[in-house]
A and B are shown apart, each in its own frame.
Chain A
Amino acid sequence: MKRLIGSVTLLLVLCCYMWSCEKDDLCATDTPTTPSLLIEFYASDNPAAPNPVTNLRYFVEGSKDTIFIKGSAAKIRVPLRVDGTSTKWGLILYTNPNGVDTYNTDFLEFKYTTTQVYVSRACGFKTLFKLDDPTAPNPVLTDGDKTLWIDEADIVNTNVETEEKAHVKIYF
């Protein structure tokens, strides 16, 4: 009888543990979910040399929210719309010639197709992107003001599935 009470108690405790402690209800931050475009900056006159940008701001055309990267950055993460087939980003280059804050906006429109992939109960689904043919042309470079600061934007990896390697290189 004692053994029985013991085993019933153990079973009850185990059940409570199972019901209450739902570890897989939170999406762990290190889970690979929807990737962003990884863009690297290079110098036009020396295509092999990384050319970091300073205090870069970027935004989706039509959106009020602006992403701000403080300090210098040789590469940036650029999210893509998961519910569309193109995303047009405005990139604002900050320069300070002779102590005057100067901003120059150029637009890059990325075209792609999406695939929705199941991750887990807690994370739901993620979106993987396949960038359209670079000769389409893709991305489409347009000017937001009087001058272009980007000389060239090249797709180096059309499959946007991880953020390990750069997908796009910008020369300026």
Chain B
Amino acid sequence: MLKFIFKLVLLVSFSVAAQQTPKKGKDIAKPADSLAVPVKTENYGLRVGIDLYRPSRAFYDDGFKGFEVVADYRVRKKTYAAAEAGTVDYTYDDYRLNYTTTGSYLKAGLDFNMYDNWLDMENMVYLGLRYGAASFSQNLNSYKIYQNSAIGTNPETNAASTNYFDEVTVKTDKKYGGLSAQWVEVVAGLKAKLFNNIYLGFSVRINALVANKKPAGFDNLYIPGFNRTYDGNFGAGFNYTLSYLIPVKKKQVLPKEKEVKKKK
């Protein structure tokens, strides 16, 4: 009989360990009383990393050179102060324009973790806000002139004619310097712990321009950190990061107050 009880206890404890879900009491609250509650600790620290997307993009996009470092610091249980900083050197051959944007940017804001971690897991699914600012210059390399010189009809075919003059591409090397822009970003992303203090992260962002200092006689077609500009003030972006957590302090997570009261 004793042996049987012992076996039963062993089985229960194993199954609990296998499930790994002593999540906020309820069903498991009772066995947790008889077994030792695993001490849950949470890391508070500075997590620094680099973006993997931008350096890898340089392999398939000759015109793109970019680098971004990311960092976040856990302020409260669910709140992280987060920032990104980077540089971009981007040459784009648009249909009618060829230009190079060079500059750097800084974004800072908060991330809110919305994921309930089990035990000592430290993953994040988060929503965040950023304020971004960029300082950059644009170089107009060449442009095409929109001629609009299609006139009349073709005497033989009676069809509408094409442009009378050939396409004219003007090679310039005109630099528009001292440009700047500021914007707000909404971020959604996740960070997953790969192994000891190493995290892999992905985030998508939607940006809205707040300020945009355009050059006279040209436009800000690409803003470092903000990416391509559109007719409106909106833009989009993403990053794919690898980070390392430098633990600063560990906090032990106490059982919830309700349970403590019950025990009393």
Q: Is A164 an interface residue (CB 8 A)?
A: no
- Chain B interface residue count, CB cutoff 8 Å, equals 40
- Chain A interface residue count, CB cutoff 8 Å, equals 47
Known: A4-B127, A11-B206, A15-B206. A127 touches B219 (CB 8 A): no
Within 8 A of B (CB), among A11-63: 11-12, 14-15, 18-19, 22-25, 27, 31, 33-36, 57, 60
Interface string of A86-104 (1 = CB under 8 A from B): 0000000000000000000
Residue of B nearest to A79 (CB): B149
Q: Which residues of A contact B114 (CB under 8 A)?
A: 1, 4
Q: Flag if B164 contacts A125 (CB, 8 Å).
A: no
Known: A79-B165, A116-B170. A18 touches B234 (CB 8 A): yes
Report B166 CB to chain A, min CB distance, Å: 9
Q: How far is the CA of A77 from the CA of B163 in the complex (A)?
A: 13
Q: Which residues of A contact B149 (CB under 8 A)?
A: 34, 36, 79
- Choose one: B146, B168, B204; the contact of A27 (CB below 8 Å): B146
Interface string of A129-148 (1 = CB under 8 A from B): 00000000000000000000
Q: Is A69 an interface residue (CB 8 A)?
A: yes
Report B222 CB to chain A, min CB distance, Å: 10
Q: Flag if B96 contacts A11 (CB, 8 Å).
A: no
Q: How far is the CA of A124 from the CA of B205 in the complex (A)?
A: 29
Q: Flag if A118 contacts B147 (CB, 8 Å).
A: no
Q: Flag if B152 contacts A11 (CB, 8 Å).
A: no
Pairs across A and B, CB under 8 Å, 24 listed: A7-B188, A15-B205, A18-B206, A18-B235, A24-B230, A27-B146, A35-B148, A36-B149, A65-B164, A67-B151, A67-B161, A70-B153, A76-B151, A79-B149, A81-B165, A82-B145, A83-B145, A116-B143, A121-B219, A124-B96, A124-B143, A125-B170, A126-B146, A127-B147
Taking A4-B127, A67-B151, A78-B151 as given, write out 15 further A-B residue pairs in contact, using a Cβ cutoff of 8 Å, ordered by the A residue number. Answer: A8-B125, A8-B188, A12-B204, A15-B236, A18-B234, A24-B231, A25-B95, A27-B96, A33-B148, A76-B151, A79-B148, A117-B217, A125-B143, A126-B146, A127-B145
